Structure 1
Amino acid sequence: RLFTARMKLGMFDPPEMVPYSKIDEKELDSAEHRAMAKTLANESMILLKNDGILPLKTSGLKIAVVGPLADQTKVLLGNYNGTPTHTVSVLEGLKAEFPEAQITFVPGTQFLRNNGDPLPASLLITVEGKPGLKEEFSTGDLFGEKPIVLATRQVTDVEVNPNDVPRETSGKYPLFITWSGFLTPNETGDYNLGARIEGTLARVYVEDKTVAQEFAGDAPGAHAKVGRVHLEAGKKVAIKFEYAITKPGPMQAQFIWAKYDPRPSPEAVAAAKNADVVVAVLGITSELEGEEMPVSEEGFKGGDRTSLDLPKPEQELLKTVASAGKPVVLVLTNGSALAVNWAKEHANAILDAWYPGEEGGSAVAETLSGKNNPAGRLPVTFYTGVDQLPPFEDYAMKGRTYRYFEGKPLYPFGYGLSYTKFSYTGLMLPKNAINAGDPLTAEVTIANTGKLEGDEVAQLYLAFPNTPGAPLRALRGFKRVHLKPGESQKVEFELKDRDLSMVNDAGEPIIAEGKYSVSIGGGQPNTGAPSVAGVFQVKGTKTLPE
């Protein structure tokens, strides 16, 4: 399928044969495309909990926005993404959507913050014991063999001035600049150490171990990334800073650091006490979960996750601001499931925004105000923790995903709330048995029984005859419909042979003989979602090609 998509995109053809190569890049950032980005973000918002606090009124409200991710934009894009000309942060979105509200923002923790001050020059020495660092300029392939050295010199600190580079570097791209030497801290403690750059990429090493890396991809503006290290007063450590820029443009590189303190800040508590409602923007980012990354945070290892919990510093921040006694709306950013057990019991509302893209901040704000009625559904199961999952090394499906998991998850696959209510009636199924391999049509009527218009996502689940290897249930169709209050609509699902099949314990795709159960509703059966159920019979058995 990947190569089919590539062929359709013309990736194996000469550019003159590919119609997509003639599209002006400016069209990609058109007003129409940004509007589509907002629509998609709005449709992806998933409301996990709401005790009635949402939607918020848009005027006369004091809102405390807390959390390290509220003003950040990179988190909204995930990874393997393009670079928009502008990305709306949650904080920006709230200020635009609630212009008459009094909004106060406090990050609340240093966790996931990439702030830092330049390394003091007084703490730096070269290998030869002289003040400062060795600075080396080179060129070559960006990810190729050893680069060609153009010039070297001694400098007091890491600072790039385009007007003060050796003449040997003129016109040489990619241009690499490396600073190396020793850092001798004057205080013992945990530090955030990293880079702030304009250019292509940067890597920071301590004792030859990668601490932070930032790939800016020549995107405009400054980009920063820090990592955690423990340093001891008076004990020097070897440091290295690698910087690259692939084409002419703004050049900036700073070696930054900050003393790390993950505890909730007093300012966050004060803001919460002075507010009518707290919007806590917490979660994980593509800087924590990804591929082969220098991550050493609790619950993460090299880009993999060792826990499903909300990171500890954010959990502590959430509990601390909740202790102020004001209503708390939790907004999550994440690319995978989060076991937000405490929040489910104590937060007033939970909105999962995932990584919603360039208009993500606008979508979050419009959902909190009620301009957007959420109708997103969970595409994965939210377990209460890793203890609900089989060992990672066990590749069997037993106990995995909504199809084979027999326990009670935190939030089930397909779950999502709305600001209105829907009902399902009139399920129509074949009265007589069908032959294995014949198609089947299921019809149901959906009505908006609430007071607001909104979307409903109707989901069709099948339960199979008692056959070895059969899943507990399987999603076999879904449709999204928009209904005004009091409006109803008939929705039809056509199930073909592949939809009616399952894989038995011998690994064969079959349509089994026997009784099938059908549930159509706003979520899985027996999860509290409105639904209607029925049964039908299949005569005979059919094996399908793989």
Structure 2
Amino acid sequence: MACKNNNSEVNSNPQNKEQINFNQKAKDLVAQMTLEEKVSQMSYESPAIERLNIPEYNWWNECLHGVGRAGRATVFPQAIGLAAMFDKNQMSKISNIISDEARAKHHEFASRGKRGIYQGLTYWTPNINIFRDPRWGRGMETYGEDPYLAGELAVRFIKGLQGDDPNYLKLVATAKHFAVHSGPEVDRHRFNAEPSPQDFLNTYSPHFEKVVKEAGVYSIMCAYNSYNGKPCCGNKELDNLLREDWGFNGYIVSDCWAIRDFYDEGAHEITKDAKEASAMAVKAGTDLNCGNSYPALVEAVKDGLITEEELDVSLERLVVARLKLGLFAPEGAVKFEEIPYDVIDSELHRLAALETARKSIVLLKNDNNTLPLNKEKIKKIAVIGSNADDLEVLLGNYNGYPSEPITPLLGFQEKLPNAEVSYAVGCKLAEGLPIFEAIPNSVLFTDNSLTKKGLNAEYFDNIALEGSPKYKQIDETVDFVWRTTPPFEDFSYDSYSVRWTGTLSVEKTGNYALGGEAFSSMKLFLDDKLLMERNDVHHPKKIYEYVKLEAGKTYKIRFECVQNNTEHSIMRLLWEAPKDNLEKEALSIAKEADVVVLCMGISPLLEGEEMKVKVDGFSGGDRVNTKLPKTQTELIKKIAALGKPTVLVLLNGSALSINWENKNIPAIIEAWYPGQAGGTAIADVIFGDYNPAGRLPVTFYKDINDIPAFSDYDMKGKTYRYFKGDPLFEFGYGLSYTSFKYSNIKMQSTIEAGDDFTVEIDVENIGGLKGEEVVQLYINNSNADEYNPHKTLVAFDRILFESDEKKTLKFKIDKEQLGTVNSDGEKVIQPGSYSLSVGGAQASEDRISRGSVIVKEFTISGDIFQLPM
């Protein structure tokens, strides 16, 4: 393969003089290290080497849709919602905001000697895997199912994170997970992906290539799974593709504990131990280990499995990265140090979160102009659904913690100050998933006498619950979110532990869900038996177990939480008590309302990364089907039978087969996991203060049986590029409160194979309202064989139009967009007949007749043209 990076040319470029200094400085530092010191710096928890003035550094950080897991931050919509904007400029804007907050937080941490996890400048973001199947629980972290859309958005996001300084990186961005990684979660530690050349080059790799070549992404995370028989993090073929063919010159980091999969029983089992696995990974180009395998490299060198010189190659890459971040630079050398701490979750950033949430919302259905609603005429509104007032559903996963989150319920309350806004949960989100609330004071007692309510609290100024507690008191409930404020002024705010003890006694016999939530670690005991524990700062979610409690019986309860080097403190003792009247409450308020808003969907407690989910329809973080859970559909049908004006708001991270709802509910909105301002944005759309223009970045299928099995990584039959059936809602679909007409298309009728070309089109807002249009251009290639897409997105832009405004737009189509892949793995352009569609969605007879899409036939002439690899 061609396009090799010429290091001598790079180093001879005068603009790269600083880079030469970084490389030499890295060589000098590495040369002074002992073997043990070198190995220590190749793990994500890199200790200080004081004699060389190298400070401690933790490489792990997240900023998927805002700075994650490091306390207060602006939280934008989940990544799938960012993709739904189809807005490259907005991606640049929010990634600049995120990197500003990341820099400000890092410098504040460093000023206090804090250099632990989630406190550095190397971010393991973005996740650009293709959302090839709606069952994948982590698909919500991606930019959807189309590699062109994903690549274009990722380039903007990465550039915003890494900054524009010629010498220093603002942050290091990490494109993950390379390669062919997209579920099922249960198989990710042992699955071997063997894609066809067509699928690899058409779907699984082009967006990774784009972020290397166009964004200069400085880090790549290799995936858990194997690729063509070797684990991705031990696969020299993938390293060669990145470095030799694409010119990648950064470092590669393993997914967390992926090296252990090389030798763990039941995983890849390709090596016998950590020594062999670590040597294999480093030889294959994996420079940094997230995990605990690389310490074995000391013995691996001594045993001759790898040389110290081979370690130096990886280590120098890592040191250069730290140098380019300015981590060893003198004070004042890096302009990003000047970003003030008060930018974090500032008013300006909150407004950007609102703007982004609005842009991410997709209007799926609006029969008879049900929307927008007239807020002046509504006196009573019923808001129904457990997603209406759930912070977790706002924030998604890999999230930070905003200071002023707005749930949909709060959004409606603020939008309608003079109306009666009633709320009812109505039903469980899914059978088996509790509706959590803090265990109330009415059932908690200090001892078995049941005379004093509350729990005995012991606060320790250490993380081990050791010694005598510094403070003792009675807490009425355990429902604390302390953020950066410690429970007591003389506590270390991010390093303490708490034990609550007492008695639990309920008035009603039944099955109760007992659980908790804490950011660092927690344990819950019932009658001195461990009921559950979680020790995972990486995926802090609620955990629970169902237990039968008898009325009047006393149960000893003990809840222990540890706050360990994290800024945001959550300690909550939760439950779900038996409830028989959820549906009755919902129907009651719906009958009295002028309009009903149903906030349904799914939750990050059901879909996500390798989760222990015990709910029908979900498995290990993935989904078994794409239906709404039965609990919701049953309630929706009963609400619809009332005949009230009804709006369905979906909050979820993946496609839903809402077939009945689409036939019977007049207005449907897709809001994703919308971030901190989601409630305001949803209310703005429903009441016409914002005209929606979001588009689906994934296909909504009618039935999961319409596509091949989840474990089938062949692209045939999946995503809009290969799906031959009739979708419920197609990729690129989304409605507006206004309408647009396309006309006067100008492009060549004949294009020479190997030439780029331009398209000109007139677009006019004819609907009488100001609004944005997402202009989408698709190439249709009737000559493509069954292994290549017959249709693919080749350009898009999101553009604002005043009422009755007309604009002439121009798009350049790169010849690469016309390519197909032959069985030899060569990218070629075939001569023959093609067509181009331009419009606010994919082409259909109805849209063409209405003028909202226009189609142009054209011919590619000449011989077969081979594209460079």
- TM-score, with length taken from structure 1: 0.83
User: Does the alignment pair 1:229 with 2:546?
Assistant: yes
Is this contact kept in 1: 2:435–2:576, CA < 8 A? no
Gap runs ≥5 in structure 1: 126-131, 141-146, 163-168, 218-222
Is 449-458 or 228-237 further displaced after alignment? 228-237
Letter in 2 for 1:103: V
> How far apart, CA to CA, are the structure 1 residues paired with 2:536 and 2:416?
34
> How far apart, CA to CA, are the structure 2 residues paired with 1:289 and 1:161?
25
User: Does the alignment pair 1:467 with 2:790?
Assistant: no
| Residue 387 (structure 2) aligned to one of 51, 55, 69 | 69
> How far apart, CA to CA, are the structure 1 residues paired with 2:491 and 2:742?
70
User: Could you tell me which residue of structure 2 aligns to residue 23 of structure 1?
Assistant: 339
Q: Secondary structure at the match of 1:517?
A: strand
| 1:60 Cα deviation from its structure 2 partner | 2.8
Letter in 1 for 2:855: A
Change in CA separation of 1:81 and 1:257 when aligned onto 2, cut-off 3 Å: closer
> How far apart, CA to CA, are the structure 2 residues paired with 1:262 and 1:396?
46
User: Could you tell me which residue of structure 1 aligns to residue 868 of structure 2?
Assistant: 545
User: Could you tell me which residue of structure 2 aligns to residue 95 of structure 1?
Assistant: 413
Is this contact kept in 2: 1:263–1:316, CA < 8 A? no
Q: Secondary structure at the match of 1:407?
A: coil
User: Does the alignment pair 1:190 with 2:190?
Assistant: no
Letter in 2 for 1:174: S
> How far apart, CA to CA, are the structure 2 residues paired with 1:95 and 1:46?
22
| 1:364 Cα deviation from its structure 2 partner | 0.7
> How far apart, CA to CA, are the structure 1 residues paired with 2:445 and 2:653?
42
Q: What is the aligned length?
A: 522
Is this contact kept in 2: 1:189–1:232, CA < 8 A? yes
Letter in 2 for 1:84: P
Is this contact kept in 1: 2:767–2:803, CA < 8 A? yes
User: Does the alignment pair 1:415 with 2:733?
Assistant: yes
Q: Alpha-carbon deviations, 1:186-242, whole Å to 9, x = none? A: 966432211266x7554547876748889699xxxxx99463514375999998744
Change in CA separation of 1:478 and 1:67 when aligned onto 2, cut-off 3 Å: same
User: Could you tell me which residue of structure 2 aligns to residue 165 of structure 1?
Assistant: none
User: Could you tell me which residue of structure 1 aligns to residue 817 of structure 2?
Assistant: 499
User: Could you tell me which residue of structure 2 aligns to residue 143 of structure 1?
Assistant: none
Q: Secondary structure at the match of 1:425?
A: strand
| 1:353 Cα deviation from its structure 2 partner | 0.9
> How far apart, CA to CA, are the structure 1 residues paired with 2:525 and 2:865?
60
> Superposition pairs for residues 517-532 of structure 1, below 5 Å?
517-526=835-844, 528-529=846-847, 530-532=852-854
| 1:22 Cα deviation from its structure 2 partner | 2.8
Is 257-266 or 329-338 further displaced after alignment? 257-266
User: Does the alignment pair 1:39 with 2:362?
Assistant: no
Is this contact kept in 2: 1:64–1:278, CA < 8 A? yes
User: Could you tell me which residue of structure 1 aligns to residue 79 of structure 2?
Assistant: none
Letter in 2 for 1:466: N
User: Does the alignment pair 1:113 with 2:274?
Assistant: no
Q: Alpha-carbon deviations, 1:399-449, whole Å to 9, x = none? A: 110000011111110000111111111122202x22222111112111122
> How far apart, CA to CA, are the structure 2 residues paired with 1:188 and 1:10?
54
Letter in 2 for 1:175: Y
> How far apart, CA to CA, are the structure 1 residues paired with 2:536 and 2:421?
31
User: Could you tell me which residue of structure 2 aligns to residue 129 of structure 1?
Assistant: none
Q: Alpha-carbon deviations, 1:150-198, whole Å to 9, x = none? A: 469x999997799xxxxxx97696334467999898966432211266x
User: Could you tell me which residue of structure 2 aligns to residue 382 of structure 1?
Assistant: 700
Is 343-352 or 496-505 further displaced after alignment? 496-505
User: Does the alignment pair 1:175 with 2:496?
Assistant: yes
User: When you count helix as a share of all residues, which structure comes out higher?
Assistant: 2
> How far apart, CA to CA, are the structure 1 residues paired with 2:679 and 2:817?
37
Change in CA separation of 1:428 and 1:262 when aligned onto 2, cut-off 3 Å: farther
Is this contact kept in 2: 1:115–1:224, CA < 8 A? no
| 1:398 Cα deviation from its structure 2 partner | 0.7
Q: Secondary structure at the match of 1:265?
A: helix
User: Does the alignment pair 1:441 with 2:762?
Assistant: no
> How far apart, CA to CA, are the structure 2 residues paired with 1:380 and 1:236?
51
Change in CA separation of 1:156 and 1:48 when aligned onto 2, cut-off 3 Å: same
User: Does the alignment pair 1:397 with 2:720?
Assistant: no
| 1:472 Cα deviation from its structure 2 partner | 2.3
Is 47-56 or 308-317 further displaced after alignment? 308-317
User: Could you tell me which residue of structure 2 aligns to residue 323 of structure 1?
Assistant: 641
Is 4-13 or 323-332 further displaced after alignment? 4-13
Change in CA separation of 1:259 and 1:213 when aligned onto 2, cut-off 3 Å: farther
User: Does the alignment pair 1:344 with 2:631?
Assistant: no
Is this contact kept in 2: 1:43–1:375, CA < 8 A? yes
| 1:57 Cα deviation from its structure 2 partner | 0.3
Q: Alpha-carbon deviations, 1:451-478, whole Å to 9, x = none? A: 2121111110111242332212001111
User: Does the alignment pair 1:295 with 2:613?
Assistant: yes
User: Could you tell me which residue of structure 2 aligns to residue 278 of structure 1?
Assistant: 596
Q: Alpha-carbon deviations, 1:284-309, whole Å to 9, x = none? A: 22222111333212222232222211
| 1:28 Cα deviation from its structure 2 partner | 3.0
User: Could you tell me which residue of structure 2 aligns to residue 14 of structure 1?
Assistant: 326
Letter in 2 for 1:339: S
Q: Secondary structure at the match of 2:419?
A: strand
User: When you count strand as a share of all residues, which structure comes out higher?
Assistant: 1
Is this contact kept in 2: 1:378–1:415, CA < 8 A? yes
> How far apart, CA to CA, are the structure 2 residues paired with 1:475 and 1:543?
21
Change in CA separation of 1:213 and 1:59 when aligned onto 2, cut-off 3 Å: farther
Is this contact kept in 2: 1:262–1:313, CA < 8 A? no
Letter in 1 for 2:358: N
% same residue: 36
Q: Secondary structure at the match of 2:625?
A: coil
Is this contact kept in 2: 1:73–1:87, CA < 8 A? yes
Q: Secondary structure at the match of 1:60?
A: coil
| 1:83 Cα deviation from its structure 2 partner | 1.9
Change in CA separation of 1:138 and 1:39 when aligned onto 2, cut-off 3 Å: closer
> How far apart, CA to CA, are the structure 1 residues paired with 2:775 and 2:644?
35
Q: Secondary structure at the match of 2:721?
A: helix
Change in CA separation of 1:309 and 1:210 when aligned onto 2, cut-off 3 Å: farther
Change in CA separation of 1:258 and 1:81 when aligned onto 2, cut-off 3 Å: closer
Letter in 2 for 1:44: S
Is this contact kept in 2: 1:124–1:157, CA < 8 A? no
Is 49-58 or 465-474 further displaced after alignment? 465-474
Q: Secondary structure at the match of 2:836?
A: strand
| 1:369 Cα deviation from its structure 2 partner | 1.0
| Residue 490 (structure 1) aligned to one of 787, 797, 808 | 808
User: Could you tell me which residue of structure 2 aligns to residue 78 of structure 1?
Assistant: 396
User: Could you tell me which residue of structure 2 aligns to residue 456 of structure 1?
Assistant: 773
Change in CA separation of 1:45 and 1:461 when aligned onto 2, cut-off 3 Å: same
User: Could you tell me which residue of structure 1 aligns to residue 235 of structure 2?
Assistant: none
Change in CA separation of 1:138 and 1:535 when aligned onto 2, cut-off 3 Å: same
| 1:49 Cα deviation from its structure 2 partner | 0.4
Letter in 2 for 1:29: D
Q: Secondary structure at the match of 1:272?
A: helix
> Superposition pairs for residues 241-280 of structure 1, below 5 Å?
241-246=559-564, 253=571, 255-261=573-579, 264-280=582-598
Change in CA separation of 1:151 and 1:448 when aligned onto 2, cut-off 3 Å: same
Is 468-477 or 231-240 further displaced after alignment? 231-240
User: Does the alignment pair 1:364 with 2:652?
Assistant: no
Is this contact kept in 2: 1:194–1:224, CA < 8 A? no
Is this contact kept in 1: 2:438–2:478, CA < 8 A? no
Is this contact kept in 2: 1:193–1:212, CA < 8 A? no
> How far apart, CA to CA, are the structure 2 residues paired with 1:121 and 1:483?
59
- TM-score, with length taken from structure 2: 0.54
> Superposition pairs for residues 157-172 of structure 1, below 5 Å?
none
| 1:532 Cα deviation from its structure 2 partner | 0.6
Gap runs ≥5 in structure 2: 1-124, 127-157, 163-167, 173-321, 449-454, 481-489
Is 97-106 or 530-539 further displaced after alignment? 97-106
> How far apart, CA to CA, are the structure 2 residues paired with 1:514 and 1:250?
60
> How far apart, CA to CA, are the structure 1 residues paired with 2:499 and 2:617?
32
